[in-house]
Structure 1
Amino acid sequence: MPAGVVRFNTRASGKVGGSEENQFHLHELFDVPLRTGRNLIAVEIHQENPGSSDIRFDLKLTGSDQKLSQVGLVRGPYLQVGTASSMILRWRTRRPSSSVVRYGAAPDQLKGKVEIEEKSIEHEVLIKGLKSRTRYFYSIGDGEEVLAGGDSDHFFFTSPQSGSNGPVHAWIIGDSGTANANAKAVYNAYIKVKGDRYTDLWLMLGDNAYNSGTDKEYQRAVFDLYDNLLPQTPLWSTRGNHERSAEVYYGIFNMPTDAQAGGVKSGTEAYYSFDYGNIHFICLDSYDTDRSASGDMFKWLKADLEATAQTFIVAYWHHPPYTKGSHDSDRDNDSGGRMRDMRETFLPLLEKGGVDLLFAGHSHCYERSYLINGHYGKSDTFNNSMIVNKGDGKPRGDGPYEKPSPDKGANKGAVYIVAGNGGKISGGKLNHPAMYLSLNELGSVILEAEGNCMDVRLLDYRGQVRDNFRITKGD
């Protein structure tokens, strides 16, 4: 329901449909003056659309004589801005309380402690002084009781030292915010395939919560859905066009504005960079930030690219520079020209700076390019001279995309991926000439890297690998 006073004729702000109609949505009742014996509970049902022809309602009431937390954990914990020496833990409670995090080498050895006495319902605790590439178990609480953790499910690994060549495992999803069976299937497929492998980091490519990115929509589409991954893996996001409220979006996420995770200080949460091992990740804002060559984002990107010495450079934002899916990058009026702007203005700078791989969402499909360089116009201007490697990039196919030097090199080619298939698929011509493969299939992307080798694969909602390729650099 919307905020404010709710009357009999107030329309619902969202709807429950499809497979969700067969699911119970849990609501806990606190401080309700129930009495011994018979009690009367009244329930109202509100339609989103007064012209709707049907309505369904079922209610199950479960009582308990157990003492419930008066603080009440309603969101989290979840992890933000993971570095080699620090981690931010966040959660939300029903009532204001102090914030206490205990951490240590085992669930029963939580010897470290960080406490914030100021009471709040939004809790944000920074743990500092940690060892790199180390597992820490933790619990969160209010000083009087533990709200979550202190068990084998609540832990995280700190990042490796910047530049280290150890293994990296990342999960990437785009346009996943449908909060329905599609998004759940994509998530379950990933969880099953990864098995016991720890997810080092997790990228969200925007449109994380439909339809408008409200706080309630984020609760359903992110916090209720990914409840097993959020307490263990740092989540890094870029803003999509359905994250319409900057206040809500930036209120949920923490971004490294001061280069605390590597890279160059951006001074804003809209765009930023961070290092994980020998990969430099760059997040740009294609939605609401000045996209001109004279803007601050362009100037910051230039400085950031010049400063990094990492083996691989991976960039991501929401609006794809190339797509022929549910959106068309050739149409200047599609998405307010954002796709055109990112292609014409930012790709030349990124390719000159040595970018290897770029992710975007927005178009509800999967598209993956050849190793290409120098294509900044519409699709009818693409030609074979822009293809650095015409192969499929598969180790068991035409062979990996090989780049001659382990150091970043200007205009040596990059692979472009549209992964807006995390929650729905919407068709399209799927015929952009820069693409090696285009699929109208639900799924997500797994990125793994070690040393001078990076492997990328598309995992569909059934758990089948539908695409894979490898980029190697030097010997």
Structure 2
Amino acid sequence: TEHVVQVSGLVPDTLYYYAVGTTNASLAGDAPDYFFATSPRPGTAVPTRIWVLGDSGTRSAAQYAVRDAYYNFTGSRATDLWLMLGDNAYNSGTDAEFQGAVFNAYPATLRNSVLWPTLGNHDTAGSTTHVPTRPYFQMFTLPTNAEAGGVPSGTEQYYSFDFGNIHFICLDSMTASRATDGPMANWLVNDLAATLSDWIIAYWHHPPYTKGGHNSDTATDSIQMRQNILPILEAGGVDLVLSGHSHVYERSYLLNGHYGPSSSLTSGNIVNGGNGRLPAPYQKPAGNVAHQGAVYTVAGSSGQTGGGSLNHPAMYLSLNVLGSLVVDVLTNQMTVTFLDSTSVTRDTFTIAKPSSVSSAPAAPPQIAAKAVDTKRIDLSWSDGAGDGKGFEIERSSDGKTFALLASVAADVTAFTDTIPQANRRYYYRVRAFNRGGSSAYSNIANAKTRRH
């Protein structure tokens, strides 16, 4: 039985410890490793570590070796979020296979880091028909209405979300239409147009470029994603594209505009033919400028290897080696590391952009609270310097422990709280935020609601 619990009143970029249980007994938690951190406010640049697994769900010694290698590599550095690139549970994506390949394999990471998966062919037993009752959709609760940022997709097949200054786009190359005028493509156009994030990472199962166990020159799913979806992504300024399916590691140069077979690649499609390693990273302009290049990575060897000719001309490096990806984003720099199953770094590259992050705004100098009736308190404040993107209002019943009450736009300096109970005192504070972070808090104001 799957359960979903919605928790409200949380503050961005904050660590919370938790326990799960019934009214009579605790089932799990109440321990140091049962915690989660809320996402940073969209647009805020924070150091971010992302773990990426492709085709991991084999329930084998190879899968566990890749897992343990990453745990050894990251050590005490928390995993902010992680991605699965499909084929998450071999061979058919049954409930029991998901239990073994995901929940039993990664319990430590699942306790305290959000997993964002995409759908692979082995998660549907090879079917290209969308079935909302598949175990995959029962295992995961994925955003359909932009609950985590982006534009509503209306389906768990494909979705987007924000984490700090990174916009993630998860596509379905297995059961969704790959047509240029299909629902997924139309949604993608709108989603890319709406994002203001500094970085865009897109991922799905079938790679647009591969000469591993599969051949992107002949596989229909790869061809259609390359011809129909890549032009949309590159017009939207995508930086990094991740796929699995081929059980190898392949990493491209900085590419743009290559939508045909491998034989059609020209020097004009290679924006930067270097290795992208520091001190000579792949350079891109700030923001999401169209057609400035992206790196395409096949990372499908997190559970097994598969060989292949490994000679796609778009690739800087191709390896038939077990491993996973580690993506580290620090303000204006994204570094991707391919880590093998013995914790050895086999490849690394960096994409760099000029920083577009401003400094944090000034604090609102004053907030006032006035009780209007038994269940209404009016708040007002002044803008410290006019350099914020918005305000966060927090409330407390004791003047010590505050929780987020509301977020409002930068041109709003008043708010009405209609939640309070009669004849009770409440405390309030406010802070401004922008892409550079949050200001200090204002003073604390308080008011007591009227009696009945």
Q: Which amino acid aligns with 2:329?
A: A
Residues of 2 paired with 1:177 and 1:460: CA distance? Answer: 17
Question: Does residue 200 in structure 1 map to residue 109 in structure 2?
Answer: no
- Map of 2:92 onto structure 1: 212
> So what's the TM-score if we normalise by structure 1?
0.73
For the residue of structure 1 that corresponds to 2:5, the secondary structure is strand
- Map of 1:322 onto structure 2: 209
For the residue of structure 2 that corresponds to 1:297, the secondary structure is helix
Residues of 2 paired with 1:127 and 1:363: CA distance? Answer: 39
Residues of 1 paired with 2:3 and 2:191: CA distance? Answer: 31
- Map of 1:363 onto structure 2: 246
- Map of 1:137 onto structure 2: 17
Asked if 1 retains the 8 angstrom alpha-carbon contact of 2:2 and 2:138, the reply is no
Report the Cα offset of residue 466 of structure 1: 0.4
Report the Cα offset of residue 317 of structure 1: 0.2
Deviations 1:286-343 (A, max 9, x none): 0001110111101000000001010000000000000000000011xx3xx1100000
Q: Which amino acid aligns with 1:237?
A: P
Structure 1 runs (4+) deviating above 4 angstroms are none
Residues of 1 paired with 2:264 and 2:29: CA distance? Answer: 55
- Map of 2:232 onto structure 1: 349
Question: Does residue 338 in structure 1 map to residue 225 in structure 2?
Answer: no
Residues of 2 paired with 1:385 and 1:124: CA distance? Answer: 49
- Map of 2:332 onto structure 1: 452
Correspondence for 2:139 among 249, 252, 263: 252
Correspondence for 2:281 among 389, 400, 424: 400
For the residue of structure 2 that corresponds to 1:257, the secondary structure is coil
Question: Does residue 262 in structure 1 map to residue 145 in structure 2?
Answer: no
Residues of 2 paired with 1:182 and 1:388: CA distance? Answer: 36
Residues of 2 paired with 1:215 and 1:443: CA distance? Answer: 25
- Map of 1:389 onto structure 2: 272
For the residue of structure 1 that corresponds to 2:6, the secondary structure is strand
Correspondence for 2:116 among 236, 245, 260: 236
Within 5 Å, give how 1:17-28 maps onto structure 2.
Answer: none
- Map of 1:421 onto structure 2: 301
Residues of 2 paired with 1:436 and 1:386: CA distance? Answer: 13
Deviations 1:406-448 (A, max 9, x none): 1110100000000000000010000000000000000000001
Question: Does residue 189 in structure 1 map to residue 69 in structure 2?
Answer: yes
Q: Which amino acid aligns with 1:462?
A: T
Residues of 2 paired with 1:175 and 1:439: CA distance? Answer: 15
Unpaired runs of 5+ residues, structure 1, are: 1-120
Within 5 Å, give how 1:148-163 maps onto structure 2.
Answer: 148-163=28-43
Report the Cα offset of residue 129 of structure 1: 1.3
Question: Does residue 373 in structure 1 map to residue 256 in structure 2?
Answer: yes
> So what's the TM-score if we normalise by structure 2?
0.76
Residues of 2 paired with 1:185 and 1:238: CA distance? Answer: 22
- Map of 2:167 onto structure 1: 280
Report the Cα offset of residue 227 of structure 1: 1.2
Residues of 2 paired with 1:166 and 1:217: CA distance? Answer: 35
Asked if 1 retains the 8 angstrom alpha-carbon contact of 2:2 and 2:139, the reply is no
Q: Which amino acid aligns with 2:31?
A: D
Aligned residues: 348
Report the Cα offset of residue 122 of structure 1: 2.2
Within 5 Å, give how 1:281-296 maps onto structure 2.
Answer: 281-296=168-183
- Map of 1:301 onto structure 2: 188
Residues of 2 paired with 1:451 and 1:408: CA distance? Answer: 14
Correspondence for 1:433 among 313, 331, 341: 313
Residues of 2 paired with 1:290 and 1:472: CA distance? Answer: 33
Residues of 1 paired with 2:318 and 2:23: CA distance? Answer: 52
Residues of 2 paired with 1:460 and 1:132: CA distance? Answer: 34
Deviations 1:105-136 (A, max 9, x none): xxxxxxxxxxxxxxxx3221011111111110
- Map of 2:352 onto structure 1: 472
Asked if 1 retains the 8 angstrom alpha-carbon contact of 2:326 and 2:336, the reply is yes
Q: Which amino acid aligns with 1:350?
A: L
Deviations 1:175-232 (A, max 9, x none): 0010010000000000011000110001000000100010001111111110111111
Deviations 1:366-387 (A, max 9, x none): 0000001000000000011110
Residues of 1 paired with 2:93 and 2:161: CA distance? Answer: 25
For the residue of structure 2 that corresponds to 1:169, the secondary structure is strand
Q: Which amino acid aligns with 2:344?
A: Q
Residues of 2 paired with 1:129 and 1:419: CA distance? Answer: 37
Asked if 1 retains the 8 angstrom alpha-carbon contact of 2:53 and 2:300, the reply is yes
CA RMSD of aligned residues (A): 0.8
Residues of 2 paired with 1:330 and 1:434: CA distance? Answer: 12
- Map of 2:49 onto structure 1: 169
Report the Cα offset of residue 172 of structure 1: 0.3
